[in-house]
């Protein structure tokens, strides 16, 4: 028998899992997602989440509570009579009453190799730390932050120049397939759970604005990992001189370069920049108010030359 599922998710990352569960023939009792957000120039338009749009396309009822801590909301959740809740980047903490309401519990699709990178920004943090691999995990949820026992894992290598945006898309696809596999095993009564290791716990805290400005005095590997780990959002940045004034430059893609010099110094005509140790070559950048362009196109208009300095 197909499972009766409550799906809980919000961003684009969650959409493939929702679609895959529907395609697998499970009964979707309801979709919980974050409320529509203000959009437009004046913030007067309300934009539904990507998950809400997908749920509406599938014809699944949508609920957008601002909290699940109230008794009425918890009772409404329990009244759905779900076998299981599937949670992928929902954005609200689930209290015990919600976690215990579905007959078989709540299962989370998390984008890291737990217990490494528990928390809010596991994809960013894995790349920023220079990890060689990450993955998707399906775990049974507990009240702790990403502490529950693990059911299934899909391990993915991280390319040396891969960005968070690129890895995000690969993990999203892998997570959808893994969750469908996990729910099939759960339905058949053969989903095994293993506790997470006590060693190796790290936390993926939200990205702070102070982290986004590039410090060229750091080693080149750290600068490169920072650039690709923050791309495309929120985006690493530096400044450069343009027409006698400083302008912000968003750094979207880089690779390891050759050469050395004073940190922040442009070393060649290909936008290789010296770091505290080694150098990085900027591959794709974006001027304020402009579009992303290759470094060679940027240099035609910016007139940065060898020996110039990026503060």
Confidence of residue 244 (pLDDT cuts 50, 70, 90): confident
**How far is the C-alpha of 193 from the C-alpha of 53, rounded, in Å?**
33
**Average pLDDT for residues 267-271, to the nearest whole number?**
95
**How far is the C-alpha of 215 from the C-alpha of 153, rounded, in Å?**
35
Is residue 193 exposed (0-12), middle (13-18) or buried (19+ Cβ within 10 Å)?
middle
> Can you say which residues are annotated as belonging to the binding site?
112-115
Please give the mean pLDDT across all residues of the chain: 96
In three-state secondary structure terms, 198 is coil
Name the segment(s) of the chain with CATH classification 3.10.25.10.
209-302
* The pLDDT value given to residue 38: 85
Tokens of 187: 């339905």
* The pLDDT value given to residue 305: 87
> Can you say which residues are annotated as belonging to the binding site for (6S)-5,6,7,8-tetrahydrofolate?
112-115
CATH code assigned to 4-203: 3.40.50.170
* The pLDDT value given to residue 287: 95
What pTM, to 2 d.p., does this model score? Answer: 0.95
Mind listing the pLDDT tens digit for each residue in 99-138? 999 999 999 999 999 999 999 999 999 999 999 999 999 9
**Average pLDDT for residues 252-265, to the nearest whole number?**
97
What CATH architecture is 209-302?
Roll (3.10)
Name the segment(s) of the chain with CATH classification 3.40.50.170.
4-203
Is residue 45 exposed (0-12), middle (13-18) or buried (19+ Cβ within 10 Å)?
exposed
């Amino acid at each position: 028998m197909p499972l009766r599922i409550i799906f809980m998710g919000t961003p684009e990352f969650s959409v493939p899992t929702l679609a895959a569960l529907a395609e697998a023939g499970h009964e979707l009792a309801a979709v919980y997602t974050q409320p529509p957000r203000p959009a437009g120039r004046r913030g007067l338009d309300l934009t539904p989440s990507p998950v809400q749009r997908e749920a509406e396309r599938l014809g699944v009822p949508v609920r957008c509570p601002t909290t699940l801590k109230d008794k009425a909301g918890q009772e409404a959740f329990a009244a759905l009579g779900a076998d299981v809740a599937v949670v992928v980047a929902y954005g609200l903490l689930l209290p015990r009453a919600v976690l215990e309401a579905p007959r078989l519990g709540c299962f989370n699709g998390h984008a890291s190799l737990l217990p490494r990178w528990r928390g809010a920004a596991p994809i960013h943090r894995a790349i920023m730390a220079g990890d060689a691999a990450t993955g998707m995990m399906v775990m049974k949820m507990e009240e702790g932050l990403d502490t529950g026992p693990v059911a299934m894992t899909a391990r993915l290598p991280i390319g040396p120049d891969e960005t968070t945006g690129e890895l995000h898309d690969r993990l999203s696809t892998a997570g959808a397939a893994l969750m469908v596999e996990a729910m099939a095993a759960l339905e058949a009564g053969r989903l095994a759970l293993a506790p997470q290791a006590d060693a190796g716990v790290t936390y993926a805290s939200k990205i702070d604005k102070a982290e986004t400005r590039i410090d060229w005095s750091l080693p080149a590997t750290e600068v490169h990992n920072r650039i690709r780990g923050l791309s495309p959002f929120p985006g690493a940045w530096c400044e450069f001189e343009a027409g006698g004034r400083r302008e912000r430059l968003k750094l979207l893609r880089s690779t390891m370069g050759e050469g050395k010099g004073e940190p922040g110094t442009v070393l060649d005509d290909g936008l290789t920049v010296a770091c505290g140790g080694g150098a990085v070559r900027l591959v794709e950048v974006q001027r304020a108010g402009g579009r992303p362009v290759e470094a060679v196109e940027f240099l035609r208009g910016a007139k940065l030359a060898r020996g110039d300095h990026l503060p």
